[in-house]
Amino acid sequence: MTEERVLFTYILYALAIVGLAVSFFKDRKKTKAALMKAWKAFENILPQLLTVFLILAFALAIFKPETIQTLLGSESGVLGILGAALIGSVTLMPGFVAFPLAAALLKSGAGYMQLAAFVSTLMMVGIITIPVEKKTFGMKATIARNASAFVFSLVVAVVMGVALG
């Protein structure tokens, strides 16, 4: 990590501690209730987070950086982008896990366009959630939304590739 990022991280932690202290002195009861609520939310998220981290650790242990570069690297081209988009479309993962995963894949040699396709389809396309979405919006609207989100994700990948590549 660069020195500026480390400093920025320390500043954010300091601001959070100052904010917590101000809140605590202003209303101890509300601050304690907020901290308990945050802890409960953390407890609810922890099993999913640990599962994803285990999957990520196994994937990074099994797939060498060369393999990741071949499958998802910038040289993988259109097939790598489409593969990443398809994987993202069928994966159900919260954003707070998807972005660290993308960072780990980037460090292992994945390309910007491929990661943009993966993350944007992960966030916008919901193949797994089609049954629930279909009940609410109908099949026609569900297919239209998912198809347009998939196409838009490919556009995002190209834009990111041009901007960052």
Residue 136 has pLDDT above 80, yes or no: yes
Name the residue type at position 55: I
Find the mean pLDDT for residues 25-36: 96
Model confidence at 56: pLDDT above 80: no
What pLDDT is stored for residue 140 in this prediction? 96
* pLDDT for res 86: 93
Q: pTM value?
A: 0.69
Reading the block at residue 15, the tokens are 């601001």
Residues, the chain: 165
Give the C-alpha separation, 1 to 62, whole Å.
Answer: 25
Mean pLDDT of 155-165: 90
**Amino acid found at 52:** V
Quick check: 48 pLDDT over 80?
no
| pLDDT tens, position by position, 84-121 | 999 999 888 778 778 888 888 888 889 999 999 999 99
Give residue 34's pLDDT: 95
As a whole number of angstroms, the distance between CA 96 and CA 158 comes to 23
Closest by Cα among 88, 100, 94, 87 to 60:
100
As a whole number of angstroms, the distance between CA 116 and CA 120 comes to 6
- How close are the terminal C-alpha atoms of the chain, in Å? 21
pLDDT of 72 higher than 70? yes
| pLDDT tens-digit map of 138-154 | 999 999 999 999 999 99
Q: Tell me what pLDDT residue 97 has.
A: 77
Q: Which residues of 45-66 are buried (b: 16+ CB within 10 A; e: fewer)?
A: eeeeeeebeeeeeeebeebeee
> At residue 41, does pLDDT exceed 70?
yes
pLDDT above 70 as % of the chain? 99
pLDDT at 1: 58
| Tokens 């998912």 found at | 146
Amino acid at 43: E
72 within 8 A of 111, measured Cβ to Cβ: yes
